[in-house]
Amino acid sequence: MSSHPDTLNPAMVWYAEDGEDNDVVLSTRIRLARNLANFVFPCQCSTDDAQRIQTSVFEAFRKVPHPEQYQQVGTDQLDFYARQLLVERSILPERSYTERNINNPQTDIFRKFECVPAVVVRTDGRVSCLVNGRDHISIASLTAGYNTSTPWQLCRQIDSVLQQSLQFAASYDFGFLTSDLKDAGSGMKISLRLFLPGLLQTQQIQQVMDEVSKKNCQLEAAFGGTSVPYAALGACYQLSSLYAACGSEEDQLGEFDMVVSELCSRERKARSTYAESRPTMLRHIISRMYAVMRYSRFIDCSEAMDIISTLQLGISVGLIMGITYRELHALMYRIRNAHLDYLYKDKELNFAFEADVQEHPVLVISRLRALLLQEALEKVQICF
């Protein structure tokens, strides 16, 4: 893997694809936690045992279909921005938003573990495996929009191949044994990132959080909170399953599907209600965000997320034209700090900035973000 592993082909990255229910759902992620028998959990592992585990997992991955598509690397072999990029792509785990500043490109957003983790990642970024994180093995798969079937099948295929070479810790009574009791059983965690501006603006978000918590789910801010209680940056929330011991994987997927279906329905209704009851306020929000995007010289990451979320809302109520949900979803990944740093350092792109901007690396990222948004949203039309 290169020192900056953005080897993804822009034509094949998963987050630039269309997905089901993508007016509400940004992405779907499924993760399977596994641990090797006869080894303690990573939090108690010795350096030698951690290395043995990593070597065993890397060897096992050589037997997956098309092994040449997978890259293997220790996170300590990556430079700072390479790690940040993999975090932004949901390949490496991210620190809690209370522990980092999303607007500062020099803040480390990679979650730290007792062991030095390694990662195996497919070159399209759709499938990955964290080694020696919270558990010995965390197989994960991502897809655009709402689709649990595809990532579940991909995770299960990798899991089956690994089990041919590795003995996983499991119990007849408890299923797969994991470092967190919530993951014991199937070891599966389902996570969605969703735009919920309708529920936020109609002040239903707290009620929804309480309701989903009674259905083996948790709803929380995906990228950070705001000064408004229960609000999320960019109105982007993460919905996750809580306990992996509640029935089979199929049962858990079915129950989660019912929660998502109801949540999407409520969000669409809330958007419609807000557009009908507060049309002037909605037009103000859209106009203001458009003006920030169109005329700013510098745009912070949090501002960019608010802009994208507002445009998402505007499309859904017929007040914005000239851009698709798919394009907005891709922007949510392309306006992050490490991605912009990678673009800036790409010699083929040859960016030129004002002299007073060039002197300050942090300003360069904010300036590049503004230019990227202005180019991507050039054809956006406000329909009022």
Question: From CA 81, how far away is CA 351, in angstroms rounded?
Answer: 19
CB 117 within 8 A of CB 131: yes
Question: From CA 149, how far away is CA 51, in angstroms rounded?
Answer: 33
Question: From CA 87, how far away is CA 83, in angstroms rounded?
Answer: 6
Place of tokens 């109801």: 262
121 closest CA partner among 75, 174, 175: 75
pLDDT of 50: 96
Name the more confident of 6 and 189. Answer: 189
- Using the predicted structure, report yes or no on whether residue 10 has a pLDDT greater than 60: no
Which band of pLDDT confidence, cut at 50, 70 and 90, is reported for residue 2?
very low
Question: Which span out of 18-27, 218-227, 358-367 was modeled with the highest average pLDDT?
Answer: 18-27
pLDDT of 7: 43
Name the more confident of 50 and 1. Answer: 50
Name residue 290's amino acid. Answer: Y
Instruction: Give Cα 307 distance to the centre of its chain.
Output: 18
Cβ atoms within 10 Å, residue 302: 16
User: pTM (2 decimals)?
Assistant: 0.92
CB 299 within 8 A of CB 373: yes
Place of tokens 């979320």: 309
Question: From CA 340, how far away is CA 128, in angstroms rounded?
Answer: 22
Exposed e or buried b per residue across 73-92, where buried means at least 16 C-beta atoms within 10 angstroms of its C-beta: bbbeebeebbbbbbbbbbbb
Average pLDDT over residues 301-322: 95
What is the tens place of the pLDDT at every residue in 116-169? 999 999 988 999 999 999 999 999 999 999 999 999 999 999 999 999 999 999
Average pLDDT, the chain: 92
∠ CA(22), CA(24), CA(25), 5° rounding? 60
- Using the predicted structure, report yes or no on whether residue 349 has a pLDDT greater than 80: no
pLDDT of 347: 66
Dmax (CA) for the chain in angstroms is 66
Exposed e or buried b per residue across 322-336, where buried means at least 16 C-beta atoms within 10 angstroms of its C-beta: ebebbbbbbbbbbbb
Which band of pLDDT confidence, cut at 50, 70 and 90, is reported for residue 11?
low
The burial of 255, by beta-carbon neighbours within 10 Å (0-12 exposed, 13-18 middle, 19 or more buried), is given as middle
- Using the predicted structure, report yes or no on whether residue 8 has a pLDDT greater than 50: no
Question: From CA 62, how far away is CA 77, in angstroms rounded?
Answer: 20
Which band of pLDDT confidence, cut at 50, 70 and 90, is reported for residue 3?
very low
E strand spans, the chain: 25-34, 70-74, 118-122, 127-131, 137-144, 170-171, 175-176, 188-195, 217-221, 236-241, 320-321, 381-382
Cβ atoms within 10 Å, residue 159: 18
What is the tens place of the pLDDT at every residue in 55-100? 999 999 999 999 999 999 999 999 998 999 999 999 999 998 878 7
- Using the predicted structure, report yes or no on whether residue 6 has a pLDDT greater than 50: no
Average pLDDT over residues 13-22: 91
Q: Check residue 234 and give left, alpha or beta (phi > 0: left; psi -120 to 50: alpha).
A: left
Which band of pLDDT confidence, cut at 50, 70 and 90, is reported for residue 301?
very high
Question: From CA 374, how far away is CA 369, in angstroms rounded?
Answer: 9
Which band of pLDDT confidence, cut at 50, 70 and 90, is reported for residue 268?
very high
The two beta strands, 118-122 and 70-74, are antiparallel
SS3 content of the chain, % helix, strand, coil (to 5): 45, 15, 35
Question: From CA 377, how far away is CA 120, in angstroms rounded?
Answer: 35
H/E stretch holding 257: helix 249-277
